[in-house]
């Protein structure tokens, strides 16, 4: 009897071990990292020969740990597409007689330590012409790949456009060049909004530039009313500002998270308190030269966005 009991116990033990083994196999991580690409946005135009580089903002999450990420940029002149399982194709559709060559880029970075989530914000990728060879403007694909500690990979692609820097003669008066505005019109709370622009003035250098959100009650109003509200006290939120400079070309990257209680004036988590409400807001900018001349972002280049609660 005791022999049968031991035999039964042994069988149950083997079964339990086998069951645990199966459960372990089922729990094996086979999924690549989650990727949330904030910038560049779908359809964004990136300026060729911008020395400040591409604004890359992306979040990665993987419960098994993050290993590395990489970026792939290649031409999409032939209209090819990418799905969730297809790696980026190489350059196509460039004729030998073309004086311009398609741009391509591949770069990779490792995550340090045992990270299960990471936010990457960098400007290391530069779209620069070299050795006298011109870059062919047009439609391109921008891909992000991520690999976790178990070797699982995932990726996403965006359609972007490479464009030449505005080559017309510079205005003599101080003015703005917009390098990046949001391409979408509707945002939810916790979404990030990033604007990159440059104040330019030859004879009277730029002292300061400021990017801000004007409140919903100014949507549809006159440009004079926009300009009157373009101060830290009257605007809804200061997204970012650069002060006390003396430069012919002064660039600013300004970012704000919708729903935050404070704006960005004075640094992170500082500035005036914000009372967000759903509605339309205006992304606007003002600059000032060393001589005290103020200049404003033209209405045609300003951006009206709509903010919705989640």
Which residues share a beta bridge with 107?
71
Among 2-11, 131-140, 193-202, 241-250, which stretch is predicted with the lowest mean pLDDT?
Answer: 2-11
- What average pLDDT does the segment 66-70 reach? 97
Band (98; pLDDT cuts 50, 70, 90): low
Among 84-93, 121-130, 254-263, which stretch is predicted with the lowest mean pLDDT?
Answer: 84-93
What local confidence, expressed as pLDDT, does residue 30 receive?
86
- Cα 76 to Cα 105, 217, 239, 267: the distances in Å are 13, 42, 34, 40
Mean pLDDT over each residue of the chain, to the nearest integer: 86
Among 98-112, 161-175, 179-193, 291-305, which stretch is predicted with the lowest mean pLDDT?
Answer: 161-175
- What average pLDDT does the segment 218-227 reach? 96
- What average pLDDT does the segment 119-133 reach? 91
What local confidence, expressed as pLDDT, does residue 5 receive?
52
**Confidence check: pLDDT of 97 > 70:** no
Structure tokens at 11: 């069988």
Q: What percent of the chain has pLDDT over 90?
A: 64
Q: What is the tens place of the pLDDT at every residue in 147-189?
A: 999 999 999 999 999 998 765 445 668 999 888 899 899 999 9
**Confidence check: pLDDT of 238 > 80:** yes
Q: What is the tens place of the pLDDT at every residue in 265-277?
A: 877 778 889 999 9
- What average pLDDT does the segment 108-135 reach? 92
More confident site: 101 or 15: 101
- What average pLDDT does the segment 198-221 reach? 95
Q: What is the tens place of the pLDDT at every residue in 6-50?
A: 545 455 555 555 555 555 555 788 899 999 998 898 988 898 998
What local confidence, expressed as pLDDT, does residue 87 receive?
38
Band (282; pLDDT cuts 50, 70, 90): very high
- What average pLDDT does the segment 204-218 reach? 96
- Are 40 and 56 within 8 A, CB to CB? yes
Longest dimension (CA), the chain: 104
For every residue of the chain, which 3-state class applies, written as one string? CHHHHHHHHHHHHHHHHHHHHHHHHHCCCCCCCEEEEEECCCCCEEECCCCCCCCEEEEEECCCCEEEEEEEEEECCCCCCCCCCCCCCCCCCCCCCCCEECCCEEEEEECCCCCCEEEEEECCCCCCCECCEEECCEEEEEEEEEEECCCCEEEEEEEEEEECCCCCCCCCCCEEEEEECCCCCEEECCCEEEEEEEEECCCCCEEEEEEEEECHHHCCCCHHHHHHCCCCCCCCEEEEEECCCCECEEEEEEEEECCCCECCCCCCCCCCECCCCCEEEEEEEEEEECCCCEEECCCCCCEEEEEECC
């Amino acid at each position: 009897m005791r022999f049968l009991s031991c035999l039964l116990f042994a069988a149950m033990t083997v079964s339990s071990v086998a069951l645990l083994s199966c459960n372990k196999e089922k729990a094996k991580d086979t999924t690549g990292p989650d990727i949330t690409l904030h910038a560049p946005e779908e359809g964004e135009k990136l300026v060729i020969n911008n020395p400040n580089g591409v604004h890359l903002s992306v979040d990665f999450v993987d419960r098994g740990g993050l290993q590395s990420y990489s970026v792939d940029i290649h031409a999409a002149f032939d209209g090819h597409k990418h799905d969730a399982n297809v790696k980026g194709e190489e350059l196509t559709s460039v004729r030998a007689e073309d004086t311009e060559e398609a741009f391509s880029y591949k770069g990779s970075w490792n995550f340090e330590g045992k990270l299960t989530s990471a936010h990457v914000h960098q400007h290391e990728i530069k779209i620069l012409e070299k050795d006298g060879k011109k870059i062919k403007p047009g439609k391109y694909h921008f891909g992000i790949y991520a690999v976790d500690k178990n070797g699982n990979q995932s990726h996403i692609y965006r359609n972007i456009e490479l464009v030449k820097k505005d080559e017309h003669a510079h205005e003599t008066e101080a003015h703005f060049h917009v390098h990046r505005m949001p391409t979408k019109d509707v945002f939810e709370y916790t979404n990030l909004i990033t604007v990159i622009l440059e104040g330019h003035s030859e004879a009277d250098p730029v002292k300061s530039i400021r990017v801000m959100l004007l409140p919903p009650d100014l949507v549809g109003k006159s440009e004079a009313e926009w300009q009157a509200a373009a101060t830290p006290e009257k605007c809804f939120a200061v997204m970012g500002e650069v002060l006390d400079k003396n430069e012919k070309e002064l660039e600013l990257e300004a970012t704000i998270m919708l729903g935050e209680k404070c704006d960005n004036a004075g640094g992170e988590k500082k500035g005036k308190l914000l009372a967000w409400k759903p509605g339309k807001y205006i992304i606007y900018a003002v600059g000032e030269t060393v001589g005290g001349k103020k200049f404003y972002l033209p209405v045609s280049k300003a951006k009206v966005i709509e903010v919705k609660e989640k």
